[in-house]
Chains A and B, each alone.
Chain A
Amino acid sequence: MTEKRQRIDVRQSVTRSNDAEAAALRQAFAAKGIWVVNLVSSPGAGKTSLIEKTLERLGPEVRAVVVEGDPYTSLDADRITALGATGIQINTRAGCHLDAVMIRRALADVDLCDTALIVIENVGNLLCPAAWDLGQSHTVVLASPTEGGDKPLKYPEAFIRSDVLVINKTDLLPHLPPSSAGLAKNARAVNAALRIFETSCITGGGLDLWMDWVRARMADARKAAGRA
């Protein structure tokens, strides 16, 4: 009897099982007419603030669920719950991103019947969150000019894998060096298809255009599921 080694050809992404989980979630969300957005950014770009402003403008009649990824605290979910929406905290501990299984588990006990919108606030990190599919309809990357305009060149992953870039904190531009204005140009250099919104959650500037886009995507999701 001779020992013989065999090779099994796999040639697949190691995220295969996550991708399958995410595809199942995406199908379930689509069937219910729920628009799902995965929000990624570095820490402190204003993800929670943008979610707050978005929920405020949608008003209490729109049922929204916000899944908050955070290493240890529930500070973000508390801010969402304070607005009357459903805030669910996922503490990733040492983990630097959310995955589809975490989303499935987090939503397992939530009645999504009348839900129009799920916002997933990913862990603040530009490197890997965008690589893990969560079943979202769209990925939105947030960046602020204070982080420096070169971020799309330093961390292109998040910008390449996103559909939309929101440049937040535009109210600070007058106080910053001219180089910080290069964010949109550098983002377009790595992903020409990026749709870009410029907002300030402090002054409210640019939020109308962002909200038009959000409402249009929610309407698309409802229509596709045959909901009015």
Chain B
Amino acid sequence: MHEEPYAQAMLDLALSESSGRTITRIFLGVGRFSAIVPDSLSVFFTHLSRGTPAENAELVFETIPVVITCRACGENRTLDIPDKIPVRPALARHLAAGCDCGSNDLTVTGGLGLDLLTVEVEGTE
């Protein structure tokens, strides 16, 4: 059920960026490490977008990989965790392994949330 506020926030942002034009597609980046289910988001979006310029918009999802950052040396590492592998234990293993600089102070800086990447709108020329 928690996709509902994400769907509303995404719809609001898409509408505010498209200045009333008809929205045909919305490209979304779903963090590999977010607890957001695209199918569930789509259900809420269909309901919430009724009567708005985004009513018939198609949602296109892509996965945003997890990025971990070392707080000691500042190194960013993008993790390639295949879809088949459960992300949480895999991430926990990466975090527990620590940074090459020897520090264990790692933090997740990417792949946590839901990003609105691009809004495709109808335009006339």
A residues contacting B by CB (< 8 A) are 1-18, 94-97, 99, 125, 127-128, 131-132, 152-157, 160-161, 186, 188-193
Say whether, besides A10-B13, A15-B9, A17-B13, A4 and B107 are in contact (CB < 8 Å): no
User: B2 and A96: CB pair below 8 A?
Assistant: yes
Say whether, besides A5-B122, A96-B2, A153-B92, A192 and B116 are in contact (CB < 8 Å): no
User: B117 and A14: CB pair below 8 A?
Assistant: no
User: A8 and B119: CB pair below 8 A?
Assistant: yes
Other-chain residue from B4, B105, B120, B125 in contact with A193 (beta carbon distance below 8 A): B105
Chain B min CB distance to A13 (Å) = 5
Which residues from chain A contact B118 at a C-beta distance below 8 Å? 7-11
User: A190 and B95: CB pair below 8 A?
Assistant: yes
Other-chain residue from A17, A97, A161, A190 in contact with B92 (beta carbon distance below 8 A): A190
Question: Complex formed: what's the CA distance from A220 to B33 in Å?
Answer: 33
Which residues from chain B contact A125 at a C-beta distance below 8 Å? 2
Say whether, besides A13-B113, A17-B13, A156-B91, A97 and B5 are in contact (CB < 8 Å): yes
Chain B min CB distance to A139 (Å) = 13
User: B120 and A5: CB pair below 8 A?
Assistant: yes
Say whether, besides A8-B18, A8-B121, A94-B4, A13 and B89 are in contact (CB < 8 Å): no
Question: Complex formed: what's the CA distance from A41 to B9 in Å?
Answer: 24
Question: Complex formed: what's the CA distance from A8 to B1 in Å?
Answer: 29
User: B121 and A5: CB pair below 8 A?
Assistant: yes
Q: Would you give 22 A-B contacts (Cβ < 8 Å), ordered by A?
A: A2-B124, A2-B125, A6-B120, A7-B119, A8-B121, A10-B119, A11-B115, A14-B10, A14-B114, A14-B115, A15-B9, A16-B9, A96-B1, A99-B5, A131-B34, A153-B89, A154-B88, A156-B33, A156-B88, A192-B95, A192-B103, A193-B71
At the interface, yes or no: B76 with Cβ under 8 Å from chain A? no
User: A3 and B124: CB pair below 8 A?
Assistant: yes
Which residues from chain A contact B122 at a C-beta distance below 8 Å? 3, 5-6
User: B35 and A157: CB pair below 8 A?
Assistant: yes
Question: Complex formed: what's the CA distance from A7 to B27 in Å?
Answer: 10
User: B124 and A97: CB pair below 8 A?
Assistant: no
Chain A min CB distance to B8 (Å) = 9
Other-chain residue from A14, A95, A155, A192 in contact with B13 (beta carbon distance below 8 A): A14
Question: Complex formed: what's the CA distance from A155 to B13 in Å?
Answer: 28
Question: In the complex, which residue of chain A has the Cβ closest to the Cβ of B71?
Answer: A193
At the interface, yes or no: B108 with Cβ under 8 Å from chain A? yes
